[in-house]
Amino acid sequence: MGGSESLSESSPPPPQPAAEKKHGVTKPISLAGPTEMDLQRNSELGNFLMNSGLYESEEDTAMREKVLQRIDEIVKFWVKQLTRKRGYTDQMVEDANAVIFTFGSYRLGVHGPGADMDTLCVGPSYVNREEDFFIVLHDILAEMEEVTELQPVPDAYVPVMKFKFQSISIDLLYASISLLVVPQDLDISHDSVLYNVDEQTVRSLNGCRVADQILKLVPNVEHFCTTLKCLKFWAKRRGVYSNVTGFLGGVNWALLVARVCQLYPKAIPSMLLSRFFRVYTQWRWPNPVMLCPIVEDELGFPVWDPRKNPWDRSHHMPIITPAYPCMNSSYNVSTSTLRVMVDQFQFGNKICGDVELNRVHWRALFEPYLFFEAYRNYLQVDIVAADDDDLLAWKGWIESRFRQLTLKIERDTCGMLQCHPYPNEYIDTSKPCPHCAFFMGLQRKEGVKVQEGQQFDIRGTVDEFKQEVNMYMLWKPGMEIYVSHVRRKQIPAYVFPDGYQRPRTSKHSTHHADKTSENDAKGYRSPSEGREIKRKQGDETAYVKLDKPGKRASISPQHPGSVSPERSSGGPLGSGKGTMGNDVRLGELDDCNPSSTIVRKFLNASTLKGGTKELEAKELAAKTYPTQELLVECGVMCGKTVEACLIGPNEDIEGMLKQIDSVVQDNKQIVEPSGKSVVGSDSRTPNLICKVSLFP
């Protein structure tokens, strides 16, 4: 009692400063809130999104809910039917259950009109994926009038059934968990759902678990959703929204945006959008983006860890999922696609800087990328099939393998030939059979001089890719693929909205080919758009009617009994004399941006201790870290000087983030953190900077 009296009579302790709350794996960069100008720009951004048609109507939202309810009824019926057929008791049949979960853009609240719905069906242990899901449920759906374009993809990394239900696109996954009866209120975020399941099931469950964790880890869900909606729209307009092609998909963009929200917890969407480009323009890949620390569990599933897993060290742009088991969601990114995305981040950063200075409007940021004006040379991939259903299946298979073509070209040219696969597909309605086409921009890597007449012969590379594609288990007569090299002036007319190519203005005059009447674009191009070579005057001043390239040959091996619709128009690629005409042998590329070829090799610290010619022992001993690893980059073609980096402690990431707001936005390189030892790198050659992977 006395103690309480003395406590009440004593003066209160002085107020303690509020501790800076930690969001994610580091402290925030800034706790600043919006200014008056930020609020005004935020209002303008919201109006722009609304006027761009990014929000669906209430009727469409209600339709989605009805479709989800209908799918839930179908899978419940399916599981009860299988339970009865397998001889379980009537009580078991009555209790049998399956539950539908959503993930992706719909779960995060950032879907727009016509967007796919990512769904997951969780069923009991005795209902399997191979037969029950992909055969029995498939047949049930196939007989329903509401279901169209049904396409099973059982061999995908995450097996999926794609279809349209009352015109709404559905991606349906399946996960069989180790329970005989699935409760209707199943908590999918709990790690217990992962007991006694295989890795395919873990990957199927991961989408829902990741979406739930993202929403828990961001400081403000509403601001996160608006910013993510902006970035998804921007990425699609700029041609970098496609996980399967080697860019980033929905979950990747969500994780990148969520990390920026953690770094600026009090920022509103207009601020977060600008900070997004500021952060990732200066991010030193392959430093990983993480929302929370990576933890291991007694369940023993592999998690992303470049210290233990050599394969993880080869990832170019690690974006780590926050739910156990933590994985790199962007393993599809290649050297070429990372280059394209960094270029686009720089474009976005420049535009946002001018938006903040009131020089341009937000719509300048969302100007479409002029892909067919960015390069001089392209690969055209034509896909044909006997009917629309066959084309849907055949195209889906080829799309899933398309990234391999990029990787093979990088491999076979030692990175000298850079690829820009474009995710958009184009349809030639004049073809006698169902058709679509994809394109890939090609250019030499920057910085290396080449001998006159030097060529890239990738015929064998393309042949290898086609052989793999043609191993499709569900191949049917009429399914064919044709790959050809085309110059910019040979791009077919059907890829342009008006059937012809726009005139290109001189880069020394009006920079942007389609700038708005208010000069919102201000002539800004991404670096790849700016690397244009002068064209002839005649091509710069007039609209050119584009016809289909004549006698553009195929390299497709023929299946027995099938006839190529273009086989009569020319010989197979490789039958020419190595010219740049109808050949895949790429010679004097107009976009000549050569560079040293770098191939990464990873050695542990003990391996390199004997290599004193490249690294002096005293330099290695200058810094000691708890987990030392060595990343060595070496040029294999010309015996380039070996460059090495020591992987520093995780404080290096925090040090990098602290510098981001203070760096002048004029394309300067961010200063290396002092906690890192860099050996042998040449600061005069920015393309040869040593890349450091950091892992906490």
What residues are labeled active site? 105, 116, 118, 171, 232, 241
Cis amide bond preceding 325, omega within 30: yes
**3-state helix/strand/coil string of 21-86:** CCECCECCCCCCCCCHHHHHHHHHHHHHHHHCCCCCCHHHHHHHHHHHHHHHHHHHHHHHHHHHHC
Helix (H, G, I), strand (E, B) or coil at 251: helix
Q: Which of 322, 98, 332, 68 is nearest to 211 (CA)?
A: 322
**Under 8 Å between Cβ of 640 and 624:** no
Phi and psi at 492, nearest 5°, equal -65, 150
Query: What is the three-class DSSP state of 480?
Result: strand
- For residues 377 and 489, give the distance between their C-alpha atoms in angstroms, rounded to a whole number: 9
Cα dihedral 303→198→108→36 (10° resolution): 0
ω into residue 527 within 30 of 0, thus cis? no
Give CA separation, 119 vs 78, 141, 207, 228, in Å: 16, 15, 9, 20
Q: Sign of the CA dihedral 68, 73, 77, 79?
A: positive
What 3 state SS string does 382-449 have? EEECCCHHHHHHHHHHHHHHHHHHHHHHHHHCCCCEEEEEEEEEECCCCCCCCEEEEEEEEEECCCCC
Structure tokens of 84?
């009865």
Distances (CA, A) of 693 to 339, 598, 680: 17, 16, 17
Are 647 and 693 within 8 A, CB to CB?
Answer: yes
Contact call for residues 632 and 608 (beta carbons, < 8 A): yes
Residue with tokens 């696109």: 169
552 by Cβ neighbours in 10 Å (0-12 / 13-18 / 19+) ranks as buried
Cβ proximity of 688 and 681 under 8 Å: yes
Give the distance, in angstroms, between the CA of residue 424 and the centroid of all CA atoms in the same chain: 14
CA 33 to chain centre: 30
In total, the chain counts a number of residues equal to 696
Q: How far is the C-alpha of 170 from the C-alpha of 129, rounded, in Å?
A: 17
What CA dihedral angle connects 59, 103, 367 and 546, to 10 degrees? -90
CA-wise closest residue to 40 among 490, 356, 395: 356
Record the tokens describing residue 609, joined without a space.
Answer: 């201790």
Helix pair 651-660, 269-282: axis angle to 10 deg: 120
Tokens read off for 24: 């994610």
